[in-house]
Structure 1
Amino acid sequence: MTTGYAFPDLTHLFAPRSMAVIGASEKEHSIGNHAMKNIMEFSDFKGKLYPVNPKQDNVMGLTCFPDVASLPEPVDVILVVIPAKFVREAVEQAGEMGVKFAVILTSGFSEADDWGRAEEAKLVEISQRTGIRIYGPNCPGLVNFNMPLGMSFSPAYRNDIAPGSIALATQGGGLGRNMVQHKDRGVGFTNWASTGNECDLQVADFIHHMAGDPEVKVIGCLIEGFKDGPRFAAACLRAAEMGKPVVGLKVGRSEYGAKAAASHTASITGSAEVNATVFRDLGVIEVDDLDELVDVAQLLARKLPTGDEKIAIFASSGGAASLCADNVGTGGLELATFTPETTQRLADGLPDYAAIGNPVDTTSISISHPDAYRDALLATATDANVGLVLAPLPMDYGNYSVINGESLIAVQAQTDVPIVPIWMSERQGDGYHTLAEGGLTPMRSLRNMRKALRRWIDYGSWLASRDASWRPAVIDAGAGAVDTLTRTLTEIEGKRELAAAGIPAAAPELATTAREAEEIAARMGGPLAMKIVSGQITHKSDAGGVKLNVDVDNSGVIHSEIIANVKSKHPDATLDGVLIEPMAPHGGVEAFVGVARDPVFGHVMTFGLGGIYVEMFQDVTRTMLPVTKAKALQMVNQLKSAKLLTGYRGQPPRDLDALAGLVVKVSDYVAAQSDRVEELDINPVWVGAEGEGVMALDAVIVVKA
């Protein structure tokens, strides 16, 4: 078992053996009528179906029951399409008789007003008391495309059925249906869960279910906010274990988007930086838009990448080939070098004026000699060095586009190397539809291709480097409440805690008077660092409370100067004295290690250059806890400024082994005290050359009071 969570078995929600439609109706164009039609006319549901409506004796030829309590058996699913004021009674009756699931399409609950919020809370109580699981309310329904079965009132459902291997779990109904309608370019879906208010079942539950569904190859998710961060992490970890890539689009990454998402869902939108960190750590491929989500998902459904794929470009337009090559280069992708055998096959089959390197430009033979075009494509796609073939198609060329599309489909059937057409024209003629119907899913621009291909290959790299034993601490520890009652440890207290945890830290002493400062300085020897100690002052330098490279003979004077500086800027602050410690050796590089508690995903570590540079350049990397040594070294290498630590222009490499060890010990320290530590900043961490070690020179630790 991956997690400590008891994820529900949703088998009979997606494939019920019996159903009841609460609010079924004969009235044309009514919600209840659409719901019945979608099941009876446009689905292949072979189980028992019971209409429920006290005002009708039968609906669409089926005997109608006055209420849920009158049903002859406890069905697997009730589909609820009645006004909000009647929903609670229907769900209560269903729960008491042993119904497994309630799919509540009705709106007017927590998204609406105080009455709706109170009513939704009562639905949760019914679920917890009786065991009935609730999907929704305020949702467009649940669709199993491979059956098919549409538990929905949408009149669009009948036109959206496209069986496939991509599953969707979304918090947005309209945006979810937007992705479903990519069926028109050949994308197929196993099922679609759009979870609405998530008063009970949430996106995480559906990701977990989809991870175990043998018909699912890829999971796409659209997130507006997180009901339960640890649960989401556990579900995504399960998907990774099952080899099911998750492609995620998070709404609310900007301040504007976050406000809009908050008005649409009661979930916590969260910090964009933290959300992106969680996605990356869990292997969730974060995308920027709906079409990108579908592009990436369909690529993954066709083939899982290794991360080492080299690209071939195959075109019949020199301009399209060159522009495509530009996009490959700007995307950081790599063109393949053809083997001599492939080059010879292309030379034998194409005219002298064709380009037979990579990119390949067949010129007009795509019109005059379609067989030669097809043979050249097969030679390209089966080259030993080629991991994917791009086929940019700049214009609709009538029936010739159909013939070329058929060639792409025919060659794809002979290799597992993906052939990816890019349909660049605004005219979607028969050639476009030929490709879509053949399962090649034309991408709509070179820009879209570049982004999708970059995500695809990066996922292969993540797979290759993934530590299958790593498990986010938040799954077991929970996120924890961000406590408003906190206190900041003094630097001396903080460094003592760090030292006790095995984290290299200076051993400071406290001088309450100038005389004590002189005595301590004489004992330590110089040069010295002297810093104000006060639980009310975090930014000591800004208050004039830090002096570096102090001579032993000046220690008493500097002590008095620091006290005077701080009192002038913070007259009401309580000053404990002045910390004195030896200066770190010259020649080190300063790094920064911080940990803060996110309200959704718990403690997250931030690493970067230290001193003033962490704020100036914002060049940082983040990760969830726990941090392994390999992950710590990975964080170093992800910095844009990594060369300052690894060695640059005559500067020696730093002691990365010791730095990684410090990062791991910080992670272990916070994990061991996860209920107590709210925030930790070690800035700077002095990093010596190889073999010289590291030292925490300043530490701010915030704990629960």
Structure 2
Amino acid sequence: MARQLSIVDVETFEELVEVAGFLSRERRSPRRGVGVLTTSGGASIMTADQLEARGLALPRLSASTGRALAALLPEYAVTRDNPVDVTAGLSEALFEQVLATVVGDERIDTVLTAVTGARGVERARNVARVAHAADKPVVVCWLGGSLTDAGISVLDTEGVACFRNPRTAALALAAARDFAAAQSAWARRNARWAALERARLRPPAARPGPLSYAEAAALARRAGIPLAPEALVATPAAAARAARRLGFPVVLKVVARDLPHKTEAGALALNLRTADEVSRAAGRLLTTARRYRAEGLLVQPMVDGVEVLVGVTRDPTFGPLLVVGAGGVQAELLGDTTARPLPVTRGEILAMLREVRSLGVLRGFRGAPAADVPALVAAIAGVARLAGALGERLQALDVNPIVVGARGRGAWAVDLLLETRPVAVR
């Protein structure tokens, strides 16, 4: 969830202050790549390593930039490509020209100059002059401890971002890139979310709270959630007829709004293979059903496959969260789940499935076939679609489990709970 929202992970208070300060001032982000100008071979290597570790490219400079640098730099300059290492002996006036040349390269959209030593105020003013004239971010990593305080003070006054080590500089640039990508993605998500809310599904219940199974199932089907074939019955004879129609073996479940955990309540009968077994089990379950003001018995064919928990809960900070994890009785036992704020893309749904360790079985395990992951992704997208269509009325949605068959066999929701909440009239 933190990755989806582009929350930046820092390790020290100093990183928190420097990265947050940079993001508050600079919203342009490195997309094509970063150009690096240094006065030290060691600083050059450390800076390049930190940038590349965070996925920030250091593209080769253009031929025209290379020719311009060749005309400016003395023979002792170590490198004339990215990163450009001019050594510590370059004059301040020449350093400013080299920096402006690197900034002008069309292959890069951010420049990081990593400098060392105590060349304080004059260098800081020169860097600030180039930064103010540039159409791209120019940031500084100044290595030298307290010897650099005067120069850093000038950069702060001029509004030029300055970091005291390459790691923090790279962290800040990567954060700017990720934040820009997240903002763009959220704009697209919000457009889809608004479209879902315009096609709002109105729950039929007059009062907020858990919907009946029939009401919840009707909404789920409209949203594209694949429910297993089923029949809601009220007598043993009707249960037996439904089982014959659906095909053996079947499962019987007591359906009641205030019965979320059927196994513990003895409200479930599995793997019934004959009409007689169904009739006897239905008689027992109907006795149990009277304690829960049940709607009736649900008859479904037994569905084999990997059980996956999918749900939506309303978080006071993040709003509706899509939750995916190990399903069935393993849901509470393992607690192996992951979550994302809605809306989500299908690519993000796939990423969520990879994050749940116990769902590695979807890829096939010890001779078991790979599961129908595309069907599962489509089913989860249906859950997200239902949440969007219900909008502010949704309190919680629990589809546990969705049973995923082998590849090509589909995925089926075999249980469903849907709870609404009161919404103020605007």
TM-score normalised by L of structure 2: 0.72
Residues 404-428 of structure 1: CA deviation (Å, up to 9, x unaligned): 3234234334431211012344414
Partner secondary structure for residue 313 of structure 2: strand
Which runs of structure 2 are paired with 1:440-479 in the superposition (5 Å)?
440-465=160-185, 466-467=187-188, 469=191
Letter in 1 for 2:21: V
Which residue does 1:293 correspond to in 2? 20
Name which of structure 1's ranges 658-667 and 465-474 shifts more when overlaid on structure 2: 465-474
Residues 305-331 of structure 1: CA deviation (Å, up to 9, x unaligned): 3x6241122221233233323332343
CA RMSD, 1 decimal: 4.5
Which runs of structure 2 are paired with 1:424-573 in the superposition (5 Å)?
424-427=143-146, 428-465=148-185, 466-467=187-188, 469=191, 487-499=209-221, 503-510=225-232, 516-541=238-263, 543=265, 545-546=267-268, 550-552=272-274, 555-556=277-278, 559=281, 563=285
Which residue does 1:342 correspond to in 2? 65
Q: For residues 634 and 559 of structure 1, what CA distance do their matches in structure 2 show?
A: 43
Q: For residues 194 and 38 of structure 2, what CA distance do their matches in structure 1 show?
A: 45
Match among 403, 413, 424 for residue 696 of structure 1: 413
Residues 630-683 of structure 1: CA deviation (Å, up to 9, x unaligned): x443542553617989x9699566147844762464035413xx44x4322223
Letter in 2 for 1:641: R
Q: For residues 416 and 688 of structure 1, what CA distance do their matches in structure 2 show?
A: 54
- The answer to whether the 8 Å contact 1:536/1:573 transfers is yes
Which residue does 1:310 correspond to in 2? 33
Q: Are 1:354 and 2:78 counterparts?
A: yes
Match among 346, 352, 356 for residue 639 of structure 1: 352
Which runs of structure 2 are paired with 1:91-490 in the superposition (5 Å)?
280=5, 289=16, 291-300=18-27, 304-305=28-29, 308-346=31-69, 349-351=73-75, 354-366=78-90, 369-394=91-116, 397-398=117-118, 400-427=119-146, 428-465=148-185, 466-467=187-188, 469=191, 487-490=209-212
Letter in 2 for 1:604: P
- The answer to whether the 8 Å contact 1:312/1:336 transfers is yes
Alpha-carbon deviation of 1:526? 2.6
Which residue does 1:654 correspond to in 2? 374
- The answer to whether the 8 Å contact 1:633/1:656 transfers is no
- The answer to whether the 8 Å contact 2:311/2:383 transfers is no
- The answer to whether the 8 Å contact 2:249/2:301 transfers is yes
Which residue does 1:81 correspond to in 2? none
Match among 319, 330, 337 for residue 618 of structure 1: 337
Which residue does 2:320 correspond to in 1? 604
Letter in 2 for 1:453: L
Letter in 2 for 1:684: P
Letter in 2 for 1:313: V
- The answer to whether the 8 Å contact 2:31/2:177 transfers is yes
Letter in 1 for 2:130: V
- The answer to whether the 8 Å contact 2:228/2:413 transfers is yes
Q: For residues 561 and 354 of structure 1, what CA distance do their matches in structure 2 show?
A: 87
Mark the CA change 1:472 to 1:308 in structure 2 (over 3 Å): closer, same or farther: same
- The answer to whether the 8 Å contact 1:495/1:506 transfers is no
Query: Is there any run of 5+ residues in structure 1 with no aligned partner, and where?
Result: 1-272, 477-484
Residues 66-96 of structure 1: CA deviation (Å, up to 9, x unaligned): xxxxxxxxxxxxxxxxxxxxxxxxxxxxxxx
State, as a whole percentage, how many aligned pairs show the same letter.
23
Q: For residues 347 and 554 of structure 1, what CA distance do their matches in structure 2 show?
A: 92
Query: Is there any run of 5+ residues in structure 2 with no aligned partner, and where?
Result: 11-15, 199-206
Q: For residues 426 and 474 of structure 1, what CA distance do their matches in structure 2 show?
A: 54
Q: For residues 640 and 524 of structure 1, what CA distance do their matches in structure 2 show?
A: 31
Q: For residues 538 and 375 of structure 1, what CA distance do their matches in structure 2 show?
A: 71
- The answer to whether the 8 Å contact 1:388/1:418 transfers is yes
Alpha-carbon deviation of 1:385? 1.6
Which residue does 2:204 correspond to in 1? none
Letter in 2 for 1:322: I
Partner secondary structure for residue 55 of structure 2: coil
Partner secondary structure for residue 386 of structure 1: coil
Alpha-carbon deviation of 1:386? 1.0
Q: For residues 421 and 128 of structure 2, what CA distance do their matches in structure 1 show?
A: 62
Partner secondary structure for residue 61 of structure 2: coil
- The answer to whether the 8 Å contact 1:636/1:642 transfers is no
Q: For residues 238 and 179 of structure 2, what CA distance do their matches in structure 1 show?
A: 59
Letter in 1 for 2:180: G
Q: For residues 373 and 260 of structure 2, what CA distance do their matches in structure 1 show?
A: 32
Letter in 2 for 1:361: D
Residues 248-278 of structure 1: CA deviation (Å, up to 9, x unaligned): xxxxxxxxxxxxxxxxxxxxxxxxx7xx79x
Mark the CA change 1:459 to 1:642 in structure 2 (over 3 Å): closer, same or farther: same
Mark the CA change 1:536 to 1:664 in structure 2 (over 3 Å): closer, same or farther: closer
Q: For residues 531 and 560 of structure 1, what CA distance do their matches in structure 2 show?
A: 9
Partner secondary structure for residue 111 of structure 2: strand
Residues 325-356 of structure 1: CA deviation (Å, up to 9, x unaligned): 33323433333333344345445525456134
More helix by share: 2
Alpha-carbon deviation of 1:434? 3.0
Relative contact order, CA 8 A, sep 6+: which one is greater? Answer: 2
